[in-house]
């Protein structure tokens, strides 16, 4: 992936940067952000540049530190995806967690606390492991939809560029408009200007639509079926999901049946809602969306949907997306 560091990359304190080379984090450089969809032949995915969970984690830490200047919060942000398995949220589909897509987060605290390297590093800076095991407790690092957090901001702005919605220069301008507001009771990333918020919100909805479109949902479901068969046949173990995508693909290719399924998965390129040979899939998914805050006065802010009727209608249309139709590949 091209260099998408559109935010200032000032030096992180050693308490944070000293963790960048640990094996548990470096593994994420071979775990993609696009949940295995980038291995298919669907036009929207097949030409994407590499975008790894490692790069996302580093970006989330940089953004968190920029707006908090707190190493503890930045470390929590850096480690927030440390338990992400190969193919990311596809494994949530394997676990039946289509709508929340949080089942893959359950091992985060265990991985952090069981790592001697991480524990020793944290102790050397007087940081308690419990303070970095759950980034959800830090609202700048993470918050509930429709709020804007460092995590949501990083992958949204990166995908503006990756999906060709914006040039890097425009993304940098948007980032420069962001500040922190506590107008809703907790600190939250917000935009200083209406124009920047509208540009961001409108483009973010385009990304939201991609995350739930038929190609995305179908790909994740089909790949989860490949993984399920591989586990059933003992081609891979559950523990292998916490290695790398290169290693798991190598094992899939070692068995004739899973190899054939993987190759057919790689060839997916066209979908239809018209019944064809082979089973259709009715697949639900999490609707990720952002309704950004806009600074509207001294100490006050409003959601973009309350300021822009067009955006509100577009957001409501997205939230009403129906997943009840079966999807077929041909």
Please write the tens of the pLDDT for every residue from 252-309.
999 999 999 999 999 999 999 888 777 889 999 999 999 999 998 777 899 999 999 9
Per-residue pLDDT band at 105 (split at 50, 70, 90)? confident
Residue 47: C-alpha distances to residues 38, 56, 217, 267, 278 (Å) = 8, 19, 18, 14, 27
Least confident piece of the model among 33-37, 102-106, 115-119: 102-106
- Percent of the chain residues topping a pLDDT of 90: 85
Per the structure, how many domains does the chain have?
2
What value does the mean pLDDT take over residues 40-52?
92
Do 68 and 137 belong together in one domain?
A: yes
Do 261 and 118 belong together in one domain?
A: no
Do 182 and 229 belong together in one domain?
A: no
Give the domain range for residue 262.
214-268
Please report whether residue 233 resides in a domain: yes
Distance, CA of 84 to CA of 35 (rounded, Å)? 10
Do 80 and 224 belong together in one domain?
A: no
Do 152 and 18 belong together in one domain?
A: yes
Q: Are 104 and 85 in contact (CB under 8 A)?
A: yes
Please report whether residue 245 resides in a domain: yes
Please write the tens of the pLDDT for every residue from 118-158.
999 999 999 999 999 999 999 999 999 999 999 999 999 99
Count of CB atoms within 10 A of residue 131's CB?
Answer: 14
> Which runs of E-coded beta strand occur in the chain?
178-181, 188-191, 271-272, 293-297, 300-303, 328-329
Do 239 and 310 belong together in one domain?
A: no
Please report whether residue 326 resides in a domain: no
Do 98 and 116 belong together in one domain?
A: yes
What value does the mean pLDDT take over residues 108-118?
95
DSSP letters, 54-91, are: HHHHHHHHHHHHHHH--HHHHHHHHTTTTT--TTTTHH
Please report whether residue 330 resides in a domain: no
Please report whether residue 9 resides in a domain: no
Do 228 and 87 belong together in one domain?
A: no
Do 206 and 83 belong together in one domain?
A: yes
């Amino acid at each position: 992936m091209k260099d998408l560091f559109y935010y200032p990359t000032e030096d992180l304190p050693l308490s944070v940067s000293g963790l960048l080379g640990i094996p548990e984090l470096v593994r994420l450089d071979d775990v993609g952000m696009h949940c295995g969809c980038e291995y298919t032949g669907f036009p929207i995915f097949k030409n994407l540049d590499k975008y790894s969970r490692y790069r996302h984690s580093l970006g989330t830490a940089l953004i968190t530190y920029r707006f908090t200047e707190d190493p503890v919060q930045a470390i929590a942000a850096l480690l927030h995806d440390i338990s992400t398995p190969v193919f990311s949220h596809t494994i949530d589909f394997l676990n039946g967690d289509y709508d929340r897509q949080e089942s893959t987060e359950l091992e985060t605290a265990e991985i952090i606390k069981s790592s001697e390297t991480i524990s020793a590093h944290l102790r050397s800076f007087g940081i308690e492991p419990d303070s970095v095991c759950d980034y959800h407790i830090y609202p700048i690092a993470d918050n509930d939809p429709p709020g804007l957090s460092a995590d949501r901001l990083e992958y949204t702005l990166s995908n503006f560029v990756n999906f060709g919605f914006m040039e890097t220069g425009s993304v940098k301008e948007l980032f420069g408009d962001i500040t922190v507001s506590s107008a809703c009771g907790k600190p939250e990333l917000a935009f200083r200007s209406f124009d920047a918020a509208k540009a961001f919100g409108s483009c973010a909805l385009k990304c939201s639509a991609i995350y739930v479109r038929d190609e995305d949902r179908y790909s994740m479901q089909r790949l989860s079926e490949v993984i399920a068969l591989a586990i059933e046949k003992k081609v891979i173990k559950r523990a292998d999901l916490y290695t790398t995508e290169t290693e798991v693909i190598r094992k899939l290719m070692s068995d004739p049946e899973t190899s054939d399924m993987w190759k057919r998965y790689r060839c997916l390129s066209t979908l239809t809602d018209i019944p064809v040979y082979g089973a259709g899939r009715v697949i639900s998914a999490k609707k990720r969306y952002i309704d950004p805050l806009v600074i509207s006065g001294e100490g006050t802010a409003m959601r973009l949907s309350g300021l822009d009727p067009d955006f509100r209608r577009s957001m409501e249309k997205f939230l009403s997306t129906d997943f009840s139709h079966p999807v077929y590949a041909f």
